Amino acid sequence: MEPFQQMMGARIAQAALIPFLAALIGGGIFFARRNLRLGRGDRRNAGRLAIYFLDLSFIGGILGSHHVLAPRELDQVLIIAGLSLLIASVLWLLYTAIEPFVRRQWPHILISWTRFLSGEFRDPLVGRDILVGCAGGILMNCIFQTPTLLPSWLGFAPPNPPLSFSFQTVMGIRSFNSSLLSMFASSFVGGLAYIFLVFLMRILLRSQKAAVVASVLIAVLLQGPGSLWLFAVLLIIFALLFFVQFRFGLVAAAFIVFSVNLLGAFPVTLDVSA
């Protein structure tokens, strides 16, 4: 058998992921420390965000794990708690680092976000942004299907195999709820990571338009596009994501990430009994 060869896009994505995470954490530490020293930042909502993620991630991890009454069970619980606490701490760092800058440059991004973190789920602006995010996620998922569907409509073989769902979502109610909670928690990470990327590019390039363009290109490269067609599709998707983020705010961006992950991982069927 021939050894497995990774596609060029996947190799580029792996090479770019490590410096991206290093810049994310390193930049978060630097700017969060600076804001704390100057007395800036919304510490209350940063703490709420970290606690929300910690609770959702820990409960989702516990529900999705296989449990056996054995001495190693405690190790498994501690690993899940440690990973949840680590990512919650990074979220707290990112929010503390960018919140004063975002509030000064793009204050409308945080209006519904602040109300959402404060528990005002019935607020009309929060509801609007959730609906916008879900609609945007559905549209992006439809666009992402075009590399598979369009060639077959034109009579050609599709370049990629049909997209499948995650088997964890159909392994029982406990596993189903675990996937749902984990996706909802990761949507917070995605929304903040993308706005932090624009924040870093804005500092480096000194131009908001150039920062958005560079952020879209970096986000596409991190996905590891394996073909020119997929690269073009991802370019459209992330351009739409950043447009919605700057037009409607972080709540809409977070629910875009949640909707895309939901439609990609859970089986879509018209059989309501399933």
Name the phi and psi angles at 178, rounded to 5.
-60, -45
Are the CB atoms for 109 and 192 separated by under 8 Å? Answer: no
Among residues 105, 17, 1, 99, the alpha carbon closest in space to that of 50 is found at 99
> What's the average model confidence in pLDDT over 16-32?
81
pLDDT in tens, 145-157: 776 666 667 776 6
Are the CB atoms for 174 and 188 separated by under 8 Å? Answer: no
Cα–Cα distances in angstroms (integers) from residue 227 to residues 10, 11, 73, 233, in the given order: 11, 13, 44, 10
pLDDT in tens, 58-107: 998 888 888 788 788 888 889 999 999 998 998 898 889 888 888 888 88
CB atoms within 10 A of CB 219: 21
The predicted pLDDT at position 158 comes to: 61
The predicted pLDDT at position 6 comes to: 63
Residue spans per domain, the chain: 11-265
